[in-house]
Structure 1
Amino acid sequence: MKKLLLLGAFALLGGLAQAQEGFRLGAHVGAPLGDAADAASVTLGIDAAYMWNITKGLDIGVTTGYSHFFGKDRFEDFGFVPVAASGKYKFNKIPLFVGLDLGAAISTRDYINSGLYVAPRVGYQMKKAELYLGFQNISSKYRDRGPYWDYRDRFNFGAVNFGANFFLN
């Protein structure tokens, strides 16, 4: 019986170690950080990516989506559409991964410029899905100093996110 359980465990881990090449769709919820914490109470978003398996454990691809920051008090809602390169490394023999998205974030508001998008994450890999904890940061500028913040012109709109992605291959 022990041998059968051990064999089943190895089969399960072998299935988890397979590459996740193809489409990935998901969603995230997060707590705003930095300058975004002054203006927003929560962020919700959707994610979409296409990944190619480069070598065992390493996937490279492209990603996009939408992150919506819900304004608080006198602040309006705002959002960003990332367009980025995506990389993910899945560790051998354990169902954990690290990833990084790097590119541009296009602002949905006229008074916020688009900016540099950086989003590292760490997560738990399953056969057809993944759960992750990540950080996203958009380094941007207000046009004409914007309607809300005072004399600075550079801002970091960030968030700590919890998300789930599903593989559609």
Structure 2
Amino acid sequence: MKSMTKTILALGLMTAGLASAQSADMRNMIKVGINGGFAVPAENAGGNLGLDVSYQNLITPGFGLGIATGYSHFFGRDNDVNGVTINNNDFGVVPVAALIRVYPKQMGFYLGTDLGYGFIVGDDKVASNASVDRPDGGFYIKPEIGYHNKDWNFSLQYQKTFTGDKGEIANQKYSAGAIGAGIGYNIPLGK
């Protein structure tokens, strides 16, 4: 009980300290951006390019909540498994996620994450020369750290859609994850 009280007190103090971090005219906004990176691990895909679209409401000037979606295209890569070349297909991830952001100052570094479900779209098979079905999706997470000002966001991010063991071919695991960078533009919607 004491630790819960301390946690609530600490969160309250942090929220109060962040209350002056963001400008009031940027309370509601649409964020539109692009991202790209390298697939990790790079077994069935080599890299990705994506488009991000989100809505954010600043609950306090330093804390934002919203919804996020977009499309991230993963480029399939050939992979040798047990002496056989697997021709992995391209695929896409369409997330439907909650957006969480913390802004310690009006301009500067921020932390955030998107949490939700990632729908995997594209060819029904993992590879053009294999009969294994690709997964349909899974739990989606996209933590990021970045720099922001009134108009722009620049971030380093990791995105991952967890698929369990679905889509595996022999010892090749199916990966819908990437590490990369992104840039976004803020469109204010008013107070």
Q: What CA distance in whole angstroms lies between the structure 2 residues aligned with 1:87 and 1:100? A: 5
Aligned to 2:185: 166
Matched ranges for 1:30-45 at <5 A = 30-34=37-41, 37-45=42-50
Q: CA deviation at 1:56?
A: 2.0
> Contact (CA 8 Å) 2:53, 2:70: kept in 1 or not?
yes
Matched, 1:123 2:130: no
Deviations 1:2-58 (A, max 9, x none): xxxxxxxxxxxxxx8424521010000111103xx1011110000000001101210
> Contact (CA 8 Å) 1:62, 1:86: kept in 2 or not?
yes
Q: What CA distance in whole angstroms lies between the structure 2 residues aligned with 1:166 and 1:94? A: 14
Match of residue 169, structure 2, among 146, 149, 154? 149
Identity %: 31
Matched ranges for 1:1-169 at <5 A = 17-18=22-23, 19=26, 21-34=28-41, 37-73=42-78, 74-92=87-105, 95-109=108-122, 110=124, 111-141=134-164, 146=167, 149-150=169-170, 155-169=174-188
> Contact (CA 8 Å) 2:108, 2:147: kept in 1 or not?
yes
- Give the count of matched residue pairs: 148
Q: What CA distance in whole angstroms lies between the structure 2 residues aligned with 1:17 and 1:53? A: 8
> Contact (CA 8 Å) 2:43, 2:175: kept in 1 or not?
no
Q: CA deviation at 1:155?
A: 4.7
> Contact (CA 8 Å) 2:117, 2:139: kept in 1 or not?
yes
Q: What CA distance in whole angstroms lies between the structure 1 residues aligned with 2:160 and 2:174? A: 10
Corresponding letter in the other structure for 1:165: G
Mark the runs of 5 or more structure 2 residues left unpaired by the alignment. 1-20, 79-86, 125-133
Corresponding letter in the other structure for 1:48: V
Q: What CA distance in whole angstroms lies between the structure 2 residues aligned with 1:53 and 1:20? A: 5
Mark the runs of 5 or more structure 1 residues left unpaired by the alignment. 1-15
Corresponding letter in the other structure for 1:58: F
Q: TM-score, normalised by structure 1?
A: 0.80
The Cα RMSD (Å) is: 2.1
> Contact (CA 8 Å) 2:139, 2:161: kept in 1 or not?
yes
Moved over 4 A (4+): none
Q: CA deviation at 1:168?
A: 1.3
Q: What CA distance in whole angstroms lies between the structure 1 residues aligned with 2:72 and 2:45? A: 12
Q: The residue matched to 2:88 in structure 1 has which SS?
A: coil
